Amino acid sequence: MGRDSAHLYDDQDVAEFHGFPLRMLVYNPVWVVLLIAAVAAVVYVSWRARSARVPPGPGRDAIVLSGMCVVGIVLTAQAMRTREYSVPVAISLLAMLAPRDRPSSLRRARLVNGVLGLLVAVTMELHGADTLPLIATHLPTHQYDGTRALLEANGDRPILNIAEADYCMLLWQYERVVCVQALSRYFIYPYKQLYQDVWTLHDHADTSPETVAILRRFWDRGVRLVAVHWTNAMRRFADAHPETLTLVFRSKINSASIYALAPP
């Protein structure tokens, strides 16, 4: 999965299971700064660990974090998804190495804090206006609030979740919910027809002549509810074909919707 050996994410310019694109280092200098700082911290810990002339050596925690930092850099280079784990490790290592409790280091600490504060301010200025609104729409833990009764009534029938992440969002509302796909298309890849049906709806639901036939196949598989985001092609199909998909829920947070699938 980490190497995308089945090439399921080739249609995405930046994919979580593809390598970290080098051009992102150009477009986002903060990544360059963090990478250089992390590598420098690892080199420093390694030097301290090997040099008997600089007692005391680094603590066990610093050595372990240095190893984890190296692993994180390697994994992130291979699969961009792992940045969410490697970045906190790198920050933890830098925090552990930061000088403290020494009067002689106060001037240095103030300088470092000033630089970090400046970097935070610049980052917020460059990206804050675009990033902060995403917290409400892209981390919507409560986007399906109010659907528990609907999900309970659906029972153990699978819900066709066009967006992979909707699985955990629906599960947040009802612990026994069942979805066609979970957090990755790799879970359904061995079932070729199912995989093809899901991704035809995902990419071309509003234009494919197969959409109605695919929905009939999902009805035969037991599907009665379809979860759709407002940006997806499936939403455009639903708006154009209310006789096939009847709106039964729409989120006030980000307009994520649940439709009832009509019988064929």
211 Cβ contact partners less than 8 Å away, ≥ 6 residues apart:
200, 201, 204, 205, 237
User: E-strand spans in the chain?
Assistant: 159-161, 225-228, 245-250, 257-261
Task: Please report the pLDDT score of residue 53 as a whole number.
Answer: 57
Q: Measure the CA dihedral 31/37/41/43, to 10°.
A: 90
Whether 182 maps to a domain, the answer reads yes
Of 97, 116, 139, the last residue of a domain is 97
SS3 (DSSP) at 258: strand
Q: Does a structural domain hold residue 175?
A: yes
Give the span between the Cα atoms of 4 and 2, in whole angstroms.
6
The whole domain housing 157 covers: 148-261
Q: Are residues 156 and 237 in the same domain?
A: yes
Angstrom CA distances, 262 to 144, 171, 216, 218, 245, stand at: 21, 24, 9, 11, 6
Structural domain includes residue 126 = no
Considering its fold, how many domains does the chain have in total?
A: 2
Phi-psi group of 132: left, alpha or beta (phi > 0 → left; psi -120 to 50 → alpha; rest → beta): alpha
**SS3 (DSSP) at 171:** helix
Is 243 in the same domain as 153? Answer: yes
Q: Does residue 157 sit in the same domain as residue 220?
A: yes
Same domain, 166 and 79: no
Could you tell me if 152 and 252 lie in one domain?
yes
Q: Rounded CA gap, 200 and 217, in Å?
A: 13
Does residue 7 come out as left (phi exceeding 0), alpha (psi in the -120 to 50 range) or beta?
left
Q: Is residue 134 assigned to a domain?
A: no
78 & 164 share domain: no
Q: pLDDT (tens digit, 9 = 90+) per residue, 69-108?
A: 999 999 999 988 899 999 999 999 999 887 766 666 677 7
Cα 75 to Cα 86: distance, rounded to the nearest angstrom: 8
pLDDT score of 105 = 67
> Look-up: residue for tokens 């890849």?
189
Is residue 154 located within the same domain as residue 256?
A: yes
In a domain, 55, yes or no: yes
Q: Are 183 and 208 in contact (CB under 8 A)?
A: no
109 to each of 35, 40, 92, 98, 128, how far by Cα in Å? 20, 17, 16, 8, 26
249 in the same domain as 160: yes
Domain assignment of residue 116, yes or no: no
Same-domain check for residues 166 and 237? yes
Could you tell me the mean pLDDT of each successive run of 10 residues in the chain, 264 residues long? 81 84 83 93 90 69 94 92 93 86 69 84 79 73 92 96 91 94 86 93 94 96 94 93 96 92 93
Q: Is residue 115 part of a domain?
A: no
Q: Residue 127 falls within a domain, yes or no?
A: no
Structural domain ending residue among the three candidates 97, 132, 162: 97
The residue written with tokens 């009067």 in the block is 103
Question: Domain check: are 158 and 233 in the same one?
Answer: yes
The candidate with the shortest Cα–Cα distance to 84, out of 74, 95, 72, 92, is: 72
Q: Where does a domain end: 61, 76, 97? A: 97
Instruction: Report pLDDT digits (tens) over 182-205.
Output: 888 888 988 999 999 999 999 899
On whether both 47 and 152 belong to a single domain, the answer is: no
- Residue 180 CA: distances (Å) to CA of 38, 123, 199, 219: 40, 39, 12, 12
